């Protein structure tokens, strides 16, 4: 910060502080010292005054002492040799008869961050731990942790650790909690403080004496204790029962978290705890502090992952109030969508509709998307609202409505006719690329339903040639034009020709150019061939099963509960997740199965963590929205439709442990060689394709390794089918185990699997062809 | 690095290189905590709120100026509250033994300064009750000074959130209420707060024919003793210095009284490019009561350029805020039983009939001094044993709008 004449100021202060007249006048002296602190706070470097400030520390005035100590702690690391001068005063203060002075001196002595301090620290710290004033003991306990952090490499002093463990029995509650905190820091490398049965029970008995801050912290420490028996477990829980309803949100949440962890094998207890926590959760959503509201809402969303209907009767609590900031409104809308049922749908829709014209485009679009999602269940009412919104002719609203239409048509084919009518009568064009892509997709996919489609496309195409659009829009435009050409050739031929010419001759983006070339060559092979490649089903109602709400087990989210994770925006937490995934995955062959292997050695909590970390491999594909890139997935679906006779399903999910147990128990029922040599080149694609036909990939070895292996499972009616795929050189061997046996299901499964592999191969060759252009 | 925050709505948690920043906004100031671990957000946010509250208690008011003037005091507070990043205490009773610095009040305290009268919790303009300035002074600044009065303030504050459908049907009505104490007594023995005797709690209890005061659920501060609550509705508490909430309660859906305001809107398209908005607003409070600072916000179609208005009295104001595409109608005082009307003519170039859909919903904000919508009252306030020296006890009521929305 540029301070003009800052040197002058420092000199002036120096003169004043060393002036004996000033020093004699207590108030004037203190005034100058607080001036120094003020400049320090504002960012001016006043470290040159260190000598004078050290002198000022020898005083009986406590306010002055505090100010000087504050100064010292800030600048000690800059002037270590001068700070040593202050040590003497500090040590003398550590023996002061006034406990407040003792505590103050000890705390600040530990706060000086400079090398070589430890030798002076040790003696006052040990004395402080045995001080008769609790205030000094509190400071001394944390001082031990500070001292350890000053020289982390040195060995842990076991006598101090023992003393701290003994101080857990201290009568002062803050000393007890500080001991836990200090031990946690000192023993970090050994896994933190050990909570054994006597300590846990001691802490539980002290809970009532603690203040709310300590309570929530102790509850967090107790998470690492595991009750030995059910009897003990229920004793502990009934002891903590009252805290579930604590007026302090942080205590109530920490208690809930503990209940969920402890009762992980007693679902009824978990449900009961969740039920009883609705009141504090809802209360936190109604407080005046909007940040607390936000935290409450984020945690309600977590709870709803397991119990979607828990808050259904309280849906009105999630209506937005107009003065709330956007980040709260967005969460409330998300919750409202989940809570919709037959009784409240009319009110919720009316509420959401009033948000659609919000001043903030972001909120308006979110409200429209929310209505679009409700439309998957309550199609008619929502379509009416969405169509009505189109007449407002506002860019951001039109764009959001068209995007909602796109998703809706994909999930609910019965809405196609109304959507086509709405698009037909809509004269407004979205201006952002997401909206443009959605419109183009609708035009291409449903050109028969929209009579004006070719003319709209022509208009959009003319726009495209004039102004530069994003490559994504251009790709969608190409696809739409070719699809439309297949269904309405006469009206589209001209447009398509011009578009292809433009994209091949003048386009600078290679992706767009290659795609145009690809379509060009494809068309050269004839209409039939093009149709075979491009057309697929226009919607997939079965997908709504996949993306629809499933009741997740509590264990999926409980480790994130009452942490910052639910509050972070999605993007951040997903990044974190993938980083963690990379970090935890060993390089071995069975990467995702690794947690299974060391099951015996690690504690259940840790395995759970690891399992969670490895889960995204499975879950991310599960939630992938399909309409974006449909070319691969569609063709596989055509095949699946032939297998209507039996039905596969991947839910309820099978855990790695369960899979392993079954696999070991069962005999191989069927072995077969498949003619699909390139399964191992794109395991992710394979996984996605299998997902589409409801076969869950549990684990696979990384691509391009030989032998390549994958483990799959699926369920059909009452049987469960486990499969291992093993590829060596040119052969792909499939071994199937089934329980209980069911020949029909097995045959159906094998043909589904085979067609999935064929799709994969077709896809790969397609890509090769495209690349060779 | 964070260089600019988007509007007034930055995310509560921000992350930069493994360092999490959590903030709350109070008194126009950002209170930020940073951490490398992954702690409970509830603890952090409540602590920051508590810290802001304590700062307010100790400095008198919360503003950039008072923080700047009292930096030494705030350093001292923080030093005692947090050690090495761990919360040590946040209770006024413990802290007051350690805090030595005296607060510097940002403005000289004067009982006669009634121009800005309000509660410490909510800005209001009520008169004849305790001057708000009396409550917005530092709790510790009065050592041996003449201004050191033994005062205690008990406030009942209710926040209304209401949604009224276009057909006049109440779609949602919620009241969040709390009883707050601000205590300036250096030491205080037990205080007994008597609530309405006929107060019933919970939905299950039978309602008698009398005008029973009902609330759905309530929660108390942990220091409140409730042994006489079930029978006599008496709260016993030993208030510590400073501000604290002793009871929080809420009532959903069934309001005991009529809503304070009824709006009769009509929206028409006048000429080619003009919208006529006619609003008739009735205040259904009892005739003796008055609503203050009533402001009505009506969203108008996008592209509105100008507006002319006809208001019924000169103290009202109205303006068109093109940035928020809304018109704002303000009424400083609105007596109970009165009815006001206003006509707005908004010019919107390129108006279509669909644009009328953009008008509404209307949102209102207001204060109702000396009113509680639930009817909760404080029967008596007793300090036992009677304090030596004069002590002033103030009971104040206020209801204000959290969100009052009327669909058109």
> Which of B10, B25, B43 to probe the A interface (max A CBs under 10 A)?
B43
Torsion of CA A625, A627, A632, A636, to 10 degrees: 90
Instruction: Give B178 or B253, the one with higher predicted confidence.
Output: B178
For residue B351, pLDDT beyond 80: no
pLDDT at position A153 is: 73
Mean pLDDT of B362-377: 89
| Count of structural domains within chain A | 3
pLDDT at position A762 is: 66
Q: Could you tell me if A168 and A35 lie in one domain?
A: yes
Residue of A nearest to B247 (CA): A247
> Are residues B224 and B240 in contact, defined by beta-carbon separation less than 8 angstroms?
no
Mean pLDDT of A193-208: 92
Q: What is the CATH number of the domain that holds B340?
A: 2.60.40.1170
Q: Could you tell me if A10 and A89 lie in one domain?
A: yes
Residue A609 — pLDDT band, cuts 50, 70, 90? very low
- Any B CB within 8 A of A150 CB: no
For residue B244, pLDDT beyond 50: yes
Residue ranges in A360-488 assigned as alpha helix (H): 361-374, 379-390, 395-411, 416-425, 433-445, 453-466, 471-487
A357–B221: do the CB atoms touch at under 8 Å? Answer: no
Q: What is the CATH number of the domain that holds A79?
A: 1.25.10.10
- Any B CB within 8 A of A284 CB: yes
For residue B81, pLDDT beyond 90: yes
For residue A409, pLDDT beyond 70: yes
Mean pLDDT of A454-480: 83
Residue B389 — pLDDT band, cuts 50, 70, 90? low
> Are residues B405 and B361 in contact, defined by beta-carbon separation less than 8 angstroms?
yes
pLDDT at position A175 is: 95
Residue with tokens 């300090």: B383
B40–A250: do the CB atoms touch at under 8 Å? Answer: yes
Residue with tokens 């999910």: A653
Q: What is the CATH number of the domain that holds A731?
A: 3.30.310.10
| B140, part of any domain | no
Residues 152-211 of B with CB under 8 A from A: 159, 161, 163, 165, 171-172, 174, 176
- Any B CB within 8 A of A577 CB: no
> Are residues B186 and B241 in contact, defined by beta-carbon separation less than 8 angstroms?
yes
| A185, part of any domain | yes
Which among B12, B43, B217 has CB closest to A213?
Answer: B43
pLDDT at position A427 is: 78
Q: Could you tell me if B377 and B248 lie in one domain?
A: yes
pLDDT at position B385 is: 66
Residue B365 CA to residue B367 CA, distance in Å, equals 7
Q: Could you tell me if B346 and B382 lie in one domain?
A: no
- Beta strands B290-299 and B326-335: pairing type? antiparallel
Residue A773 — pLDDT band, cuts 50, 70, 90? very low
Q: Could you tell me if A631 and A669 lie in one domain?
A: no
Pick from A174, A192, A210: which residue ends a domain? A210
pLDDT at position A768 is: 45
Torsion of CA A272, A274, A279, A284, to 10 degrees: 160
Residues 634-653 of A with CB under 8 A from B: none
Mean pLDDT of A40-60: 87
- Any B CB within 8 A of A212 CB: yes
Q: Could you tell me if B333 and B402 lie in one domain?
A: no
pLDDT at position A630 is: 37
Pick from B64, B96, B128: which residue ends a domain? B96
Q: What phi, psi does B378 have (nearest 5°)?
A: -100, 115
pLDDT at position A577 is: 47
- Note the pLDDT tens digit of each residue in A633-687: 333 343 343 334 466 776 677 777 777 778 877 777 777 777 655 555 667 777 7
> Which of B2, B5, B12 to probe the A interface (max A CBs under 10 A)?
B12
**How do the residues of chain A divide into helix, strand and coil, expressed in percent and rounded to 5?**
70, 5, 25
- Note the pLDDT tens digit of each residue in A326-381: 889 999 999 999 899 888 999 899 889 889 988 888 899 999 999 999 998 888 89
| B78, part of any domain | yes
Helices (H) and strands (E) in chain A, counts: 38, 6
pLDDT at position B92 is: 82
For residue A88, pLDDT beyond 60: yes
Residue B135 — pLDDT band, cuts 50, 70, 90? low
Q: Could you tell me if B185 and B218 lie in one domain?
A: yes
How far away is chain A from the Cα of B325, in angstroms, using its nearest Cα?
7
pLDDT at position B205 is: 53
Residue A626 — pLDDT band, cuts 50, 70, 90? very low
Bond preceding residue B385 cis, omega within 30 of 0: yes
B402–A323: do the CB atoms touch at under 8 Å? Answer: yes
Residue of B nearest to A354 (CA): B361
For residue B9, pLDDT beyond 70: no
Mean pLDDT of A545-556: 68
pLDDT at position A621 is: 35
- Any A CB within 8 A of B227 CB: no
Task: Write out the residue range of the structural domain in which residue A729 sits.
Answer: 648-771
> Are residues A659 and A712 in contact, defined by beta-carbon separation less than 8 angstroms?
no
B163–A319: do the CB atoms touch at under 8 Å? Answer: yes
> Which of A234-248, A621-635, A702-716, B154-168 has the least mean pLDDT?
A621-635
How many CB pairs (< 8 A) connect A and B? 186
pLDDT at position A615 is: 38
Token pair for A32 = 């100058």
Residue A56 CA to residue A49 CA, distance in Å, equals 11
pLDDT at position A570 is: 57
Task: Write out the residue range of the structural domain in which residue B189 sits.
Answer: 156-255+373-406
Token pair for B144 = 């041996």
- Any B CB within 8 A of A301 CB: no
Residue A597 — pLDDT band, cuts 50, 70, 90? very low
For residue A474, pLDDT beyond 50: yes
A286–B87: do the CB atoms touch at under 8 Å? Answer: no
| B385, part of any domain | yes
For residue A600, pLDDT beyond 70: no
| B356, part of any domain | yes
Most confident residue range from A212-221, A728-737, B370-379: A212-221
Contact residues, chain B, for A142 at CB < 8 Å = 83-84, 86
A323–B165: do the CB atoms touch at under 8 Å? Answer: no
Phi-psi bin for B17: left (phi > 0), alpha (psi -120 to 50), beta? left
> Are residues A626 and A634 in contact, defined by beta-carbon separation less than 8 angstroms?
no
| A728, part of any domain | yes
Q: What phi, psi does A237 have (nearest 5°)?
A: -65, -40
- Any A CB within 8 A of B254 CB: no
Q: Could you tell me if A51 and A69 lie in one domain?
A: yes
B248–A279: do the CB atoms touch at under 8 Å? Answer: no
Q: Could you tell me if B291 and B212 lie in one domain?
A: no
pLDDT at position B130 is: 45
Mean pLDDT of A150-171: 86
ipTM of this complex? 0.83
Residue A252 CA to residue A268 CA, distance in Å, equals 19
Pick from B96, B120, B148: which residue ends a domain? B96
Q: Could you tell me if B178 and B211 lie in one domain?
A: yes
A562–B79: do the CB atoms touch at under 8 Å? Answer: no
Token pair for A247 = 């007026």
Q: Could you tell me if A596 and A700 lie in one domain?
A: no
Q: What is the CATH number of the domain that holds B57?
A: 3.30.450.60
For residue B52, pLDDT beyond 50: yes
pLDDT at position A365 is: 93
| A444, part of any domain | no
| B115, part of any domain | no
pLDDT at position B104 is: 77
Q: Could you tell me if A621 and A713 lie in one domain?
A: no
Which among A37, A254, A325 has CB closest to B40?
Answer: A254
Residue B16 CA to residue B34 CA, distance in Å, equals 10
pTM score of the predicted model: 0.77
Q: Could you tell me if A659 and A757 lie in one domain?
A: yes
For residue B395, pLDDT beyond 50: yes
Residues 312-351 of A with CB under 8 A from B: 316-317, 319-327, 347, 350-351
| A757, part of any domain | yes
Contact residues, chain B, for A320 at CB < 8 Å = 403
- Any B CB within 8 A of A98 CB: no
- Any A CB within 8 A of B248 CB: yes
Q: Could you tell me if A637 and A745 lie in one domain?
A: no
For residue B296, pLDDT beyond 90: yes
A564–B84: do the CB atoms touch at under 8 Å? Answer: no
- Any B CB within 8 A of A295 CB: yes
Which among B12, B24, B42 has CB closest to A250?
Answer: B42
A350–B24: do the CB atoms touch at under 8 Å? Answer: no
Q: Could you tell me if A618 and A662 lie in one domain?
A: no
**DSSP-assigned beta bridge partners for residue B266:** B278
**DSSP-assigned beta bridge partners for residue A710:** A700, A725
| B211, part of any domain | yes
Contacts of A478 (CB under 8 A, 6+ apart): A499, A500, A503, A512, A515, A516, A519
- Any A CB within 8 A of B326 CB: yes
| B4, part of any domain | no
- Any A CB within 8 A of B295 CB: no
> Which of A32-41, A591-600, A704-713, A725-734 has the least mean pLDDT?
A591-600
> Which of A116-120, A488-492, B338-342 has the least mean pLDDT?
A116-120
Most confident residue range from A288-302, A598-612, A654-668: A288-302
Q: Could you tell me if A22 and A102 lie in one domain?
A: yes
- Any B CB within 8 A of A276 CB: no
Most confident residue range from A19-28, A233-242, A529-538: A233-242
pLDDT at position A555 is: 85
Pick from A177, A210, A243: which residue ends a domain? A210
For residue A317, pLDDT beyond 80: yes
Which among A181, A359, A567 has CB closest to B13?
Answer: A567
Contact residues, chain A, for B98 at CB < 8 Å = 100
Q: Could you tell me if B357 and B389 lie in one domain?
A: no
pLDDT at position B8 is: 54
Average pLDDT taken over every residue of chain A = 80
User: What is the percentage of chain A residues whose pLDDT exceeds 70?
Assistant: 83
> Are residues B162 and B172 in contact, defined by beta-carbon separation less than 8 angstroms?
yes
How far away is chain A from the Cα of B142, in angstroms, using its nearest Cα?
17
> Which of B74, B85, B86 to probe the A interface (max A CBs under 10 A)?
B86
Instruction: Give A66 or A605, the one with higher predicted confidence.
Output: A66
pLDDT at position B31 is: 93
- Any B CB within 8 A of A1 CB: no
| A598, part of any domain | yes
Q: Could you tell me if B246 and B267 lie in one domain?
A: no
Q: Could you tell me if A601 and A719 lie in one domain?
A: no
pLDDT at position A591 is: 33
> Which of A33-47, A184-198, A616-630, A730-744 has the least mean pLDDT?
A616-630
Q: Could you tell me if B233 and B166 lie in one domain?
A: yes
For residue A419, pLDDT beyond 70: yes
- Any B CB within 8 A of A242 CB: no
A216–B90: do the CB atoms touch at under 8 Å? Answer: no
Q: Could you tell me if B194 and B221 lie in one domain?
A: yes
Pick from A616, A643, A670: which residue ends a domain? A643
Torsion of CA B39, B45, B49, B50, to 10 degrees: -30
| B391, part of any domain | yes
How far away is chain A from the Cα of B265, in angstroms, using its nearest Cα?
16
> Which of A142-151, A617-626, B178-187 has the least mean pLDDT?
A617-626
| Count of structural domains within chain B | 3
Q: Could you tell me if A139 and A180 lie in one domain?
A: yes
């Amino acid at each position: 910060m540029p301070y003009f004449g800052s040197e002058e100021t420092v000199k002036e202060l120096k003169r004043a502080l060393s002036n004996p007249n000033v020093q004699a006048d207590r108030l004037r002296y203190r005034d100058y010292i607080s001036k120094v602190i003020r400049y320090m706070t504002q960012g001016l470097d006043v470290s040159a005054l260190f000598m004078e400030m050290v002198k000022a520390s020898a005083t009986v005035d406590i306010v002055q002492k505090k100010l000087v100590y504050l100064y010292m702690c800030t600048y000690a690391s800059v002037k270590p040799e001068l700070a040593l001068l202050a040590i003497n005063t500090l040590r003398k203060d550590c023996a002061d008869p006034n406990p407040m002075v003792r505590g103050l001196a000890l705390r600040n002595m530990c706060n000086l961050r400079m090398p070589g301090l430890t030798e002076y620290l040790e003696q006052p710290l040990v004395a402080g731990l045995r001080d008769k004033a609790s205030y000094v003991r509190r400071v001394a306990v944390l001082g031990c942790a500070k001292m350890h952090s000053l020289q982390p490499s040195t060995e842990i002093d076991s006598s101090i650790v023992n003393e701290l463990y003994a101080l857990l029995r201290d009568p002062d509650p803050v000393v007890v909690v500080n001991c836990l905190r200090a031990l946690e820091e000192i023993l970090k490398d050994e896994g933190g403080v050990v909570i054994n049965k006597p300590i846990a029970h001691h802490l539980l008995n002290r809970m009532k004496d603690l203040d709310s801050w300590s309570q929530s912290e102790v509850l967090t420490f107790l998470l690492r204790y595991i009750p030995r028996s059910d009897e003990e477990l229920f004793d502990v829980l009934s002891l903590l029962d009252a805290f579930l309803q604590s007026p302090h949100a942080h205590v109530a949440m920490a208690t809930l978290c503990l209940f969920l962890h402890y009762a992980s094998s007693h679902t009824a207890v978990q449900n009961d705890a969740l039920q009883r926590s609705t009141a504090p959760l809802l209360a936190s959503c109604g407080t005046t502090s909007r940040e607390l509201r936000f935290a409450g809402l984020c945690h309600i969303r977590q709870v709803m992952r397991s119990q979607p209907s828990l808050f259904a009767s309280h849906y009105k609590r999630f209506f937005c109030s107009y003065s709330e900031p956007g980040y709260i409104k967005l969460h409330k809308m998300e919750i409202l969508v989940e809570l919709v049922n037959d009784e409240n749908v009319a009110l919720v829709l009316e509420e959401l509709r009033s948000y659609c014209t919000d001043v903030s485009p972001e909120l308006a679009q979110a409200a429209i998307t929310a209505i679009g999602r409700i439309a998957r269940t309550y199609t008619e009412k929502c379509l009416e609202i969405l169509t009505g919104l189109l007449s407002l002719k506002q860019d951001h609203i039109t764009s959001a409505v068209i995007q909602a239409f796109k998703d809706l048509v994909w999930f609910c084919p019965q809405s196609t006719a109304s959507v086509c009518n709405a698009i037909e009568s809509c004269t407004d064009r979205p201006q952002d690329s997401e909206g443009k892509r959605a419109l183009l997709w609708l035009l291409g996919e449903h050109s028969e339903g929209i009579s004006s489609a070719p003319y709209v496309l022509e208009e959009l195409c003319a726009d495209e040639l004039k102004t530069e659009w994003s490559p994504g829009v251009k790709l969608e435009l190409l696809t739409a034009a070719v699809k439309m050409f297949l269904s309405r050739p006469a009206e589209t031929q001209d447009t398509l020709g011009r578009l292809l010419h433009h994209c091949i001759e003048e386009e600078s983006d290679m992706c767009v150019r290659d795609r145009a070339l690809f379509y060009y060559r494809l068309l050269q092979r004839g209409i039939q061939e093009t149709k075979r490649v491009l057309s697929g089903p226009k919607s997939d109602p079965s997908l709504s099963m996949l993306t629809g709400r499933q009741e997740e087990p509590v264990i999926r989210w409980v480790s994130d509960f009452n942490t910052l994770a639910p509050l972070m925006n999605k993007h951040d937490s997903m990044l974190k997740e993938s980083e963690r995934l990379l970090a935890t995955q060993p390089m071995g062959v069975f990467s995702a199965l690794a947690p299974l292997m060391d099951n015996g050695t690690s504690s259940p909590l840790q395995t759970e963590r690891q399992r969670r970390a490895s889960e995204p491999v499975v879950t991310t594909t599960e939630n992938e929205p399909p309409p974006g890139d449909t070319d691969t997935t569609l063709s596989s679906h055509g095949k699946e439709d032939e297998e209507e006779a039996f039905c596969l399903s991947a839910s309820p999910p099978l855990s790695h442990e369960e899979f392993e147990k079954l696999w070991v128990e069962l005999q191989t029922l069927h072995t077969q060689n498949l003619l699909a040599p390139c399964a191992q080149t794109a395991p992710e694609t394979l996984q996605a394709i299998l997902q589409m036909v409801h076969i869950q990939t549990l684990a696979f070895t990384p691509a391009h390794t030989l032998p390549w292996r994958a483990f799959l499972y699926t369920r059909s009616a009452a049987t469960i089918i486990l499969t291992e795929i093993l590829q060596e050189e040119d052969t792909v061997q499939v071994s199937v185990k089934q329980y209980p046996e069911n020949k029909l299901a097995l045959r159906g499964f094998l043909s589904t699997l085979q067609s999935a592999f064929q799709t994969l191969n077709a896809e790969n060759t397609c890509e090769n062809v495209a690349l060779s252009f | 690095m964070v260089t600019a925050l988007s509007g007034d709505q930055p995310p509560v948690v921000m992350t930069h290189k493994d360092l999490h920043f959590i903030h709350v906004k109070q008194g126009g100031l950002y209170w930020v905590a940073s951490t490398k671990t992954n702690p409970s957000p509830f603890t952090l946010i409540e602590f920051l709120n508590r810290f802001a509250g304590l700062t307010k208690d100790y400095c008198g008011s919360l503003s950039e100026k008072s923080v700047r003037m009292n930096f030494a005091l705030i350093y001292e507070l923080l030093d005692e509250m947090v050690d090495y990043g761990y919360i040590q205490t946040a209770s006024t009773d413990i802290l007051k033994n350690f805090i030595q610095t005296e607060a510097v009040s940002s403005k000289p305290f004067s009982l006669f300064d009634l121009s800005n009268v309000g509660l410490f919790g909510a800005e209001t303009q009520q008169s004849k009750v305790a001057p708000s300035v009396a409550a917005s002074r530092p709790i510790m600044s009065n050592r041996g000074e003449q201004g050191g009065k033994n005062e205690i303030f008990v406030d009942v504050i209710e926040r209304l959130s209401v949604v009224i459908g276009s057909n006049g049907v109440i779609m949602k009505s919620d009241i969040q209420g709390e009883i707050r104490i601000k205590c300036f007594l250096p030491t205080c023995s037990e205080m007994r707060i008597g609530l309405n005797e006929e107060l019933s709690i919970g939905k299950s209890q039978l309602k008698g024919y009398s005008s029973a005061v009902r609330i759905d659920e309530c929660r108390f501060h942990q220091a409140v003793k409730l042994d006489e609550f079930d029978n006599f509705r008496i709260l016993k508490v030993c208030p510590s210095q400073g501000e604290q909430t002793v009871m929080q309660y809420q009532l959903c859906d069934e309001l005991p009284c009529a809503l304070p305001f009824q709006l009769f809107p009509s929206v028409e398209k006048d000429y080619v490019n003009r919208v006529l908005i006619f609003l008739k607003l009735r205040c259904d409070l009892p005739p003796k009561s008055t609503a203050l600072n009533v402001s009505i916000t009506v969203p108008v179609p996008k592209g509105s350029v100008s507006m002319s208005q006809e208001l019924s009295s000169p103290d009202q104001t109205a303006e068109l805020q093109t940035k928020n595409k809304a018109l704002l109608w303000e009424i400083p005082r609105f007596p109970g039983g009165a009815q006001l009307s206003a006509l707005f003519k908004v010019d919107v170039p390129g108006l279509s009939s669909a644009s009328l859909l953009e008008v509404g919903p209307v949102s209102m904000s207001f204060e109702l001094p000396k009113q509680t919508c639930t009817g909760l009252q404080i029967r008596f306030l007793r300090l036992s044993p009677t304090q030596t020296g004069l002590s002033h006890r103030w009971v104040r009521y206020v209801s204000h709008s959290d969100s009052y929305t009327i669909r058109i």
